[in-house]
Amino acid sequence: MKPLRLSVRTKLTALYGGAFLLVGLALLIVNYLLVSSSLPDAASFATDAAGIAVQRAYPLDTTTILPVERAQATQLVATSLGEYRSDVLSTLLWQSLVALAIAGALAVLLGWLMASRVLRPLHAITSTARKLEAENLDRRIDLDGPDDELKELADTFDGMLDRLAVSFDSQKRFVANASHELRTPLAVQRTLVEVAMADPDVSPELRKLGEHLIYTNERSERMIEGLLVLARSDRGLATRAPVRLDEIVATVLRSASNMAEEAGVTMESRLRPRTVSGDPVLLERLVTNLAHNAITYNREGGCVHVDLGGDPALVVRNTGPQVPLDAVPALFEPFRRLSGDRTGDSRNAGLGLSIVRSIAQAHGGTAGAEPGGRGGGLVVRVRLP
């Protein structure tokens, strides 16, 4: 059972109200003791009062007063005075308790209002933080008011946002420059190798070297493209549009059919209409990575099953090697593969599932996986709003 979580406003209200009740209770006790000590003692006062009353009744001959009459008079006065004293203290106590309860309720109400006013700048900070995105770092708190600790906190938060905005702008420029500076040399190298291999007089050794260079070049291009997609998805979405996810999945599966046939893998799908808000290019890359991973890390004669619609939005299962449960989280980290077949596989750079998770998070969703059970392989679930 989770412990009860109280808000700061509730805690401050309880603190204000509790402090007031403690002070009020102490004041009530002191007032009660003072009033109790100021009232006359019943026994001594009754004795004196009875004597005065008897003297007034028999002013001329006090010798005729019987002790019994004096005792009766004293008892009568003491009883009356005791009842009066008890009534006064009881009335004082109950009226004070009622007044303390009413004042305590007012103190709690005022404490709630004071706590709300004190915490209002913190709510502004929280609201601003929740609205921030990688593409929307121009929001600021700009807290007005006295130069106190809360204003210092808000100004510090604004300064942090300024530094983050500069950092993200620098990252955008780096990704844009890297996209051009890295792709161009690779394209030039690939063209030169292909031209050299087109020569009919090229030797078999040189042709074999050229094929290896082209393979290495293609792998470098895929890795660079994956890194750029990962960087782009990590920055968030600049724009959103309604996207038919079922149409994207159908297109990707048709494109991957040849790859599955060459690998000896059967593909099955159950697609239901599903529209999401996001970037169609990134969503297509998400589905492509899942489909290619499910085919690549499968066994001959295995199966890939794709289920679209509902919650989760997309589920991809394959029948590949057994995946240890404790190794699943590492698969979503860049450049991480499982041991064995995946480690020796140089066809991919280990960015597939990390890109899937990044794209899902950019769309406000999540991506997770679990072992496929007895059939082996992996089950990847993508949830999208």
In CATH terms, are 149-234 and 241-383 the same topology? no
Q: How confident is the model at residue 226 (pLDDT cuts 50, 70, 90)?
A: low
pLDDT one-digit tens code per residue, 242-269: 989 999 999 999 988 888 998 899 999 8
C-alpha dist (Å) from residue 134 to 154, 228, 230, 237 = 20, 16, 14, 8
Residue 338's DSSP bridge partners are: none
Region 307-322: mean pLDDT is 87
pLDDT one-digit tens code per residue, 77-100: 667 667 777 777 788 888 888 888
Structure tokens at 270: 């159950």
Q: How confident is the model at residue 60 (pLDDT cuts 50, 70, 90)?
A: very low
Among 266, 248, 251, 265, CA closest to 363: 248
Domain segments of the chain as ranges = 8-131, 149-234, 241-383
pTM, two decimal places: 0.54
Q: How confident is the model at residue 238 (pLDDT cuts 50, 70, 90)?
A: low
C-alpha dist (Å) from residue 198 to 67, 185, 201, 203, 212 = 145, 20, 9, 11, 15
CATH architecture for residues 149-234: Orthogonal Bundle (1.10)
d(CA 348, CA 226): 10
Q: 241-383 in CATH: which number?
A: 3.30.565.10
d(CA 168, CA 170): 5
- Contact at 8 Å (CB) between 213 and 171? no
* Percentage with pLDDT > 90 across the chain: 8
